[in-house]
Copies of this chain bind each other. A is one copy, B any other.
Amino acid sequence: MTVLILTCEEDVTADMVVVHLHASGVPVVRLDPADLTTGVSLSGEYVHGRFRGHLSAGGRLVSIGGLRSVWVRRPGVPAGRAAQPSPWLTEEAAQALYGMLRGSDARWMNHPDAARQARHKPWQLRLAQRCGLPVPATVITTFPRAAREFAERFPDLVVKPVSGAHPQDPPRAVPTSRVAPDTDFTAVAFGPTLLQRRIAKRADIRLTVVGERLLAARKAADTGAEPVEVDVRFAPPGAPWEPVDVPPRIAESVRTYLREAGLAYGAFDFAEDADGTWWFLECNQSGQFGFVEVETEQPIARTVAEWLARPVPEETVEADRTPTTAC
């Protein structure tokens, strides 16, 4: 059975995983939905209560029923490179491709619905709380008074976007920034604002979870002067990322988090404070792992490949094909 990877052409991280899949002899088909109607074709037939579907990419034909897993890595906009692209064609191509794949028995890393849900930061914070992870005090509000009262209770705050990257082209990451003590919160009324107690961190933690496997890395913060930049993505390079053990309670909590979220892959960011507590900042369901793997030599790509290559258990196949008594 085949592993399907949905990604664009230039994707070094996907290349790393493909190397491991090739080495283990697992068939792989890699395609970019942007090539639908040009280099990529699809066909699915529903006759006499059965479905038979195929994808064709780069001259290779793969049966949808023969997919063991789908890795949604960095797929392009469906039919985005068609001769005459249009929102209508994209919608038709997206529904056709993902509609057929959703009806398959393949395992997803990550399922599109789980991925979509996982992008909601307010939902992330609530789930993290429920799973017992330490979450810095946070408010998300359009009430200036709520922001002011929160700032009185927690004077050392950062502000960050609710939704992540700014949707310009190309998308722009919005840095997390410190809030000055005399900030006027009147403008909060014009857009939801996320304020969070700043964790005085002695390290950043990146915990990559692949299925049940946990791979954590730690990057010590600059000691000495108060850091100007709180967002590790924008900080000058300092200490390297180094492998670190995961505290057992955190391990249990993040496994529960991923299970509840329906995710097979998640990259957790924590801030480690002076007491050694790991404070949950976010879980990125499509977080990069190449930079961590390069610095720590942790086998993340290989672990992803192993998860994707895992054979479908007999019983699961049967159960999935007949999901309920009546089906």
Contacts and interface: CB of A to CB of B under 8 A. Distances in A.
Q: How many copies does the complex hold?
A: 2
Interface string A233-270: 00000000000000000001101100110000000000
Contact of A163 (B37, B83, B94, B166): B94
A51 B138 CA distance: 9
Given A44-B141, A122-B95, A139-B46, A102 B117 contact: yes
Contact of A192 (B96, B129, B325): B96
A127 interface: yes
A225 interface: no
A181 interface: no
A47 to B, nearest CB: 5
Interface string A90-122: 011111101110110000000001001101111
Nearest to A141: B43
A140 B326 contact: no
Interface string A127-141: 101111001011111
Given A82-B190, A95-B121, A127 B140 contact: no
Nearest to A48: B137
A88 B253 CA distance: 32
Nearest to A124: B99
A279 to B, nearest CB: 12
A7 B51 CA distance: 37
Contacts of A166: 88
A138 to B, nearest CB: 4
Interface in A273-325: 321-325
A145 to B, nearest CB: 9
A45 B79 contact: no
A200 interface: no
Contact of A36 (B87, B100, B142, B256): B142
A322 B132 CA distance: 11
A96 B137 CA distance: 16
A84 B43 CA distance: 44
A255 B325 CA distance: 12
A126 interface: yes
Contact of A162 (B51, B83, B92): B92
Nearest to A154: B47
Nearest 10 interchain pairs by C-beta: A99-B122, A103-B126, A99-B120, A96-B192, A43-B141, A95-B163, A113-B113, A256-B326, A130-B327, A46-B138
6 contacts: A43-B140, A47-B137, A91-B163, A92-B191, A92-B192, A130-B321
